[in-house]
A and B are shown apart, each in its own frame.
Chain A
Amino acid sequence: MKLTYPTTLVLHALASGFRHGFEILDVTGLPSGTVYPILRRLEREALVSADWEDAAIAHDEQRPPRRYYELTPSGQRILGSALLRYRMPRSIASRARRLRPARS
């Protein structure tokens, strides 16, 4: 698939540990009409895998379980080559340090 700058941003965000749709929206600053189709396409191309978070966590927070996305090994590889072409903003990596684990 074509690796555009927004796609690379989304991959980068995923690699930095942002796993939920809204987190990726916030951290990349892209509109939802861009992020979600990118996620769906990445999922279809098996560059990203998706699953539902542990029911226990959701139960603790009294809300339904969220869907999370993770890079697959081929997604990692693609990102590696894409990073040679695009420069990623520092903000994603710097915010990643403050991130709490989504699943433990």
Chain B
Amino acid sequence: MTSRLQLRLALWVIRTVALVVPAARRGAWRREWDAELQHHALYLGRRRQRSWSTDMDLIRRALGALPDAAWIRRQFTLDAEVVHDVVYGTRALLKSPAFTTVTLLVFAAGIGAAIAIVSVADTLFFRPLAVQQPERVMTIWQRNHESGAERLDVAPGNALDWLARTRSFEALAIADPFTFNLNFAGREPDYLTAARVSEPFFGVLRIPALHGRLFLKEEYRRGAPRVVILSHALWTSRFGADPSLVGTALRLDAGDPFTVVGIMPPGVELRLFDDRARRAEVQIWMPKPGFDEAEFKLRVYGAWNVVGRLRPGVSAARAQAELDLISGQLASEYPATNGRMSAQVIPLRTHLAGGLRDLLPFLLGAAVILLAVACANVASLLLARGTAREREFAVRQALGASRLRLVRQMLVESLVLAAAGGAIGLLAARWMLDVVGRLRPADIALVDRMPMDVRSAALACGVTAVAAVLAGLMPALQLSRPSSVMALREGRGGSRRAIGRALVVLEIAAALVLVVGAGLLVRSFMLVERVDPGFARDYHVSVLQVFASNRIDTPPKRIVFFEQALERMRALPGVIAAGAVTAMPFGEARVIARGMIEIPGHPTAPGEDAFAYTTAVSGDYFKAMGVPLLGGRLFDATDTSASRQVVVLSRRAARQFWKGADPVGSRVRFQFSGTRFDAEVVGVVGDLRHEALDAPAAAEVFLPYAQSGFRALTFVVRTAPDAPIDLATLKEQIWTLDPLQTIFSAAHLEDLVSKTLSQRRFNVVVLGGFAIVTLVLAAGGVYGVISVSTSQRVREFGIRSALGATDGEIIRLVLAEGVKLCLVGIIAGVSVALPAAHLLEALLFGVTATDPITFFAVSAGLVVVGAAACYMPARRALKVGLAEALR
């Protein structure tokens, strides 16, 4: 290869590589390399001997220019442009602190809300669970396809048939949850939630033990040594997270001690109990030693939970189809018990998301709307600020800044704002999730365990970037238009103002949609709150739920025990009435007995529902609850186990079964707790709602506790308003009688009722919060646009007032402009909200989705807010002196 050709090739390499070098430095860079290569070529030419390696030397050296060029490019991009843009942008932002503060807050609100909701969605649906491959884990429940009741606990007989007949699952297991008396020395007796699980249970979930091991195969056999696995929560709270606990014996009940063989890892949340029972997570796991003969026959009652792991490639829908088939077989084999029953397959994640699953689309929608409004708001702020920065842009353009450069500069500024806003938003999101965690209704798992990690940081960055581009792109494109400066000078800057107005209309429309949604929820909440539950809700009623321990093992002993406890409570100072009941309305673990009732002389028509709740009451239960007596008499001391059997009916039962006739004096037959009753009706009382304020009262038949001796009772104590009694004093009364007796729960009646509203309260607070923030942002948007337009119209106002216009007339002019914008936004918002509100229907109570009162009130409210936002700019316009205005 001649050195001439080599040199040409080398120079061509440099010319090509030079394209990588930033234009500003390209010329000098190329000259330097050209000179070095040409000098080297001369040097090589002077040398005598030539070889292959010296031949290639120039090319090799020319290629060495590439890393140099790349390095310069990287440095240039890093510090010369982006860093410069960031520094310049930050400096520019610091120069207008008011603008920056407002923009930061707006961004923080939008981004924070979006981050909070997106991370909730992420946790519920995507984050790894303690369970491995959770998408294949299904929970299976019973469904009453006649009443429509869903997600019911499973009767053992049905669960065992599912275990035997399904093919869709590689493993199917049952858990039998129960509560356990725990008596540690030196502590108040307490309840633990425990579950006996069948052998494949931990295999279905695939959760390895944190310490120790899972149960062995032989430990699931009858007569095996007694072993337990503890939950992480119990292990840390009761045993100080001591790993040496594994292998030790633990005395849990009166019987033999259990050996602790393992500790579960944290985060094992399964919500095994029916979602209406507000009980704790399982704290103790035990192996279930085989199945009893009796369990195969129980098809109506039972509280088992069934979990299964799908075979690879089998979908939840196929498993559901298979179980439907099996339910059909069971219905024909056991028509009496299984006629209305079918199976319901719910993926574990869906089950854990609980009530939030249905709400989440709304929350995501609200967060998106809020983020969009925040971005629109920032966009109009940036536009307004751009108008003030026109000179700067004009100068920079004149100095040769390309449009791309200006757009990038402005995008970087909005990114700086969004990043700072996002950082504040992230803190706000943490705080919001804290609130969400505290408010969360009982059936939602996982939400309050919101870690701040790489994953949430990535989410936050993503949301922030989206917000920055959404808010910054349009103003950047608009302001960097080469002709924009000239156009404005010639008085044709209308397009920018038009964009500002369009943004405000959009904000108002979006705010209306959210506020209407929140308004409907608030109205529903208020209407539910006002529902009369049939008893007097207040804080002067204390509720104490007690399951008699195994030592009090016969009904007569229980009757004596509970009567003594009631006597002690009645004797406390300030107690007005004290009673007890088996099925406490709104109680935390309600033992509800529902049975067929039979009225001699009143044959029920075929298909007619002759079911009623059967409830035993003791003492002054009705008086303590404030339930009115409507006819006949209440129970008294003469109704004992020795006297004839009597019942009191609820009004609903009287109406439903006696159809208007007076039931007092007639007879009724039913079963309660395995005993047949043939009782005389002695009275009728008002209806009591049991489950929730928005669930109607059902027919109820009350019998005296003295005639039943049921194991569980809930004490209800009403005290005088001026002599409150604390729950500890009531617990003392039980423990004086039996220091080892556990108390399931103690609460005030009002708190119990209030708890059932937690889902609604949650909806109201979360969606209401979104609505308020959006409304504030929209009002800010109106304020901004009217401020700008008013300052541009100062001259006009000056002339008008010179010509005799009063202050009032000028204020009216400004208000008219703002209100017009609001009206357009409201019309746009209503036309979206009217169809969209129907989506909320399932969450409403007592109002329709198109409730005219809500729509009208919200629209009127928005006009008022809009007008208020115009008032300040209008006042400011008036303050400008005439001479100043005309200058």
B67 touches A66 (CB 8 A): no
Query: Cβ of A22: which chain B residues have Cβ within 8 Å of it?
Result: 36, 39-40, 61
Closest approach, in angstroms, between the C-beta of A57 and any C-beta of chain B? 10
For chain B, residues 21 to 60, give those with C-beta under 8 angstroms from any C-beta of chain A.
28, 31-32, 34-36, 38-40, 42
Q: Does the CB pair B67–A20 fall under 8 Å? A: no
Is the pair B68, A33 in contact by a Cβ cutoff of 8 Å? yes
A31 at the interface (CB under 8 A from B): yes
Look across to chain A and name the residue whose beta carbon is closest to the beta carbon of B60.
Answer: A32
In the bound assembly, the distance between CA atoms of A58 and B32 in angstroms comes to 12
Q: Which residues of B lie under 8 Å from residue A58 when comparing CB positions?
A: 35
Chain A contacts for B72, CB-based, 8 A: 40
B75 at the interface (CB under 8 A from A): yes
Please, how many angstroms separate the alpha-carbon atoms of A68 and B39 in the complex?
Answer: 13
B64 within 8 A of partner (CB): yes
Distance A37 CA – B72 CA, assembled complex (angstroms): 8
B36 touching A66 by the CB < 8 A rule? yes
Instruction: Write the chain B residue with the least CB distance to A65.
Output: B35
Provide the residues of chain A in CB contact with B64, threshold 8 Å. 25, 31-33, 36
- Please determine whether B39 and A63 come into contact, CB atoms closer than 8 angstroms: yes
Q: How far is the CB of B577 from chain A (nearest CB, A)?
A: 83
Q: State the majority secondary structure of interface residues on B.
A: helix
- When distances are taken between beta carbons in the complex, the residues of chain B under 8 Å from A31 are 64, 67
A63 x B38 contact (CB < 8 A): yes
Given the known interface contacts A32-B61, A36-B71, A37-B67, the answer about A67 and B32 at a Cβ–Cβ threshold of 8 Å is: yes
Q: Once bound together, how far apart are the Cα atoms of A84 and B693, in whole Å?
A: 84
Say whether B65 faces chain A, with CB atoms less than 8 Å apart.
yes
B68 touches A32 (CB 8 A): yes
Q: Do B32 and A66 have beta carbons less than 8 Å apart?
A: yes
A32 touches B34 (CB 8 A): no
8 Å CB interface, A30-82 against B: 31-33, 36-37, 40, 52, 58, 61, 63-67
Question: In the bound complex, do residue B67 and residue A32 qualify as a contact, i.e. CB atoms below 8 Å apart?
Answer: yes
Contact B39 A20 (CB under 8 A): yes
Q: Select from chain B the residue with minimum beta-carbon distance to A61.
A: B42
State in angstroms the CA–CA spacing of A52 and B31 once bound together.
10
Contact residues, A8-41 vs B (CB, 8 A): 20-22, 25, 31-33, 36-37, 40
Query: A37–B61 Cα gap in the complex (Å)?
Result: 15
| In the complex, chain A residues whose CB is within 8 Å of the CB of B34 | 64
Contact A32-B65, Cβ < 8 Å, known A22-B40, A40-B72 = yes
CB <8 Å contact, A40 and B75: yes
Inter-chain CA distance A96–B36, complex, in Å, is 19
Interface size on A, residues (CB 8 A): 18
* A25 cross-chain contacts in B, Cβ below 8 A: 61, 64
A20's nearest neighbour on chain B, judged by CB, is B36
Partner of A61, one of B28, B32, B36, B39: B39
Q: Could you say which of A21, A33, A61, A63 contacts B67, with CB atoms under 8 Å apart?
A: A33
Across the two chains, which residue of chain A brings its CB closest to B28?
A: A67
Q: How far is the CB of B60 from chain A (nearest CB, A)?
A: 9
CA distance A64 to B64 in the complex (A): 19
Judging by beta carbons under 8 Å apart, are A21 and B71 in contact?
no
B42 → A minimal CB distance (Å)? 6
B42 touches A63 (CB 8 A): yes
Q: Most chain-A Cβ atoms within 10 A of its Cβ — which of B34, B65, B67, B72? A: B67
Which residues of A are found within 8 Å of B65, using beta-carbon distances?
32, 36
Inside 8 A of A40's CB, which chain B residues have their CB? 68, 71-72, 75
Kindly state the separation between the CA atoms of A45 and B449 in the bound complex, as whole angstroms.
Answer: 49
Do residues B35 and A64 form an inter-chain contact, with CB atoms below 8 A? yes
Provide the bound-state CA to CA distance between A25 and B64, in Å: 10
**Alpha-carbon distance A52/B32, docked complex (angstroms):** 9
Inter-chain CA distance A52–B35, complex, in Å, is: 10
A66 contacts across to B, CB distance below 8 A: 32, 35-36, 39
Chain A residue numbers with a CB within 8 Å of B40 are: 22
Chain A residues with CB under 8 Å of B66's CB are 33
A61 to B42, CA, bound (A): 8
**Contact A36/B39 with A22-B61, A64-B31 known, Cβ cut-off 8 Å:** no
CA A58 – CA B34 in complex, angstroms? 12
CB nearest to B66 among chain A residues: A33
Most-contacted residue by chain A among B40, B65, B72 (CB, 10 A): B40
- Contact across chains for A63 and B68 when beta carbons are under 8 A apart: no
A78 to B38 CA separation, bound complex (whole angstroms): 33
Among B28, B39, B42, B71, the residue within 8 A (CB) of A37 is B71
Point out the residues of chain A lying under 8 angstroms from B39, CB to CB.
Answer: 20, 22, 61, 63, 66
Asked whether A67 lies within 8 Å of B35 as measured between CB atoms, the reply is yes
- Please list the 6 inter-chain residue pairs (A to B) with the smallest Cβ-Cβ separation, ordered nearest first: A33-B67, A32-B64, A36-B68, A63-B38, A66-B35, A37-B71
Residues on B close to A: CB < 8 A?
A: 28, 31-32, 34-36, 38-40, 42, 61, 64-68, 71-72, 75
Could you name 12 residue pairs across A and B whose Cβ atoms are closer than 8 Å?
A21-B36, A31-B64, A31-B67, A33-B68, A33-B71, A37-B68, A40-B71, A40-B72, A63-B35, A63-B39, A65-B31, A66-B36
- A interface residues (Cβ-Cβ under 8 A, vs B): 20-22, 25, 31-33, 36-37, 40, 52, 58, 61, 63-67
A-B contact sample (11 more), CB < 8 A, given A25-B61, A63-B39, A64-B34: A21-B32, A22-B40, A32-B64, A32-B68, A33-B64, A33-B68, A36-B65, A37-B68, A65-B35, A66-B36, A67-B36
